[in-house]
């Protein structure tokens, strides 16, 4: 079993119920769950890998535009499995290549793409769910 950080982005938080159903029915355990309003500083830390890219300022505005749902998901091969369930970054591509994916069903385009998934172990989980805390 592998843990991964997953996030429902602000524009689809109102559809969280439908998205939870899809996550659970695809064999993930939702081990941790929290609604949070990110600050620009949190968002910068989350997207540190994109420092210097032209779309970063837009991405920081978007991801801080309302509350997000932060989750720790657990499944066999969880990181890859969650990225597959999300579908490609660009939702237009997702609708062509992965029509059953969450981005195909709930996302709009390559910016407003409904969900986020970590592509590595632990780092993002530690930002949102520091060990031994209950808040």
C-alpha to C-alpha distances, 83 to 8, 26, 40, 46, 97, nearest whole angstrom: 13, 12, 25, 17, 14
Q: Which of residues 60, 117, 124, 125 is near ligand ATP by CB under 6 A?
A: 117
Applying CB under 6 A, the site for ligand ATP has a residue count of 10
The dihedrals phi and psi of 30, each to the nearest 5 degrees, come to -85, 100
Identify the CA nearest to 73 among candidates 18, 10, 38, 124.
124
Q: Answer yes or no: are the C-beta atoms of 21 and 55 closer than 8 Å.
A: no
Please indicate if the annotation marks 9 as binding a ligand: yes
Active-site option among 94, 116, 117, 129: 116
Task: Pick the closer one to ligand ATP by CB: 49 or 131.
Answer: 49
Q: Which of residues 72, 73, 113, 128 is near ligand ATP by CB under 6 A?
A: 113
End-to-end Cα distance, the chain: 25
Does the footprint of ligand ATP cover residue 110 (CB under 6 A)?
A: yes
Please indicate if the annotation marks 29 as binding a ligand: no
Does the footprint of ligand ATP cover residue 59 (CB under 6 A)?
A: yes
Please indicate if the annotation marks 4 as binding a ligand: no
Residues annotated as binding site for ATP?
Answer: 9, 55, 83, 89
């Amino acid at each position: 079993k592998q843990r991964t950080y997953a996030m429902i982005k602000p524009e689809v938080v109102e559809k969280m119920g439908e998205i939870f159903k899809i996550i659970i029915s695809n064999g993930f355990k939702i081990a941790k769950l929290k609604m949070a309003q990110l600050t620009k500083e949190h968002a910068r830390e989350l997207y540190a890998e994109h420092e210097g890219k032209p779309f970063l300022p837009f991405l920081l505005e978007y991801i801080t535009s309302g509350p997000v749902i932060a989750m720790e998901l657990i499944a066999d091969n969880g990181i890859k499995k969650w990225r597959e369930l999300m579908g490609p970054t660009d939702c237009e591509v997702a609708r062509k290549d992965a029509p059953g994916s969450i981005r195909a069903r709930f996302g709009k385009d390559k910016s407003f793409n409904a969900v986020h998934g970590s592509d590595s172990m632990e780092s993002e989980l530690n930002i949102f769910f520091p060990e031994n805390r209950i808040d």
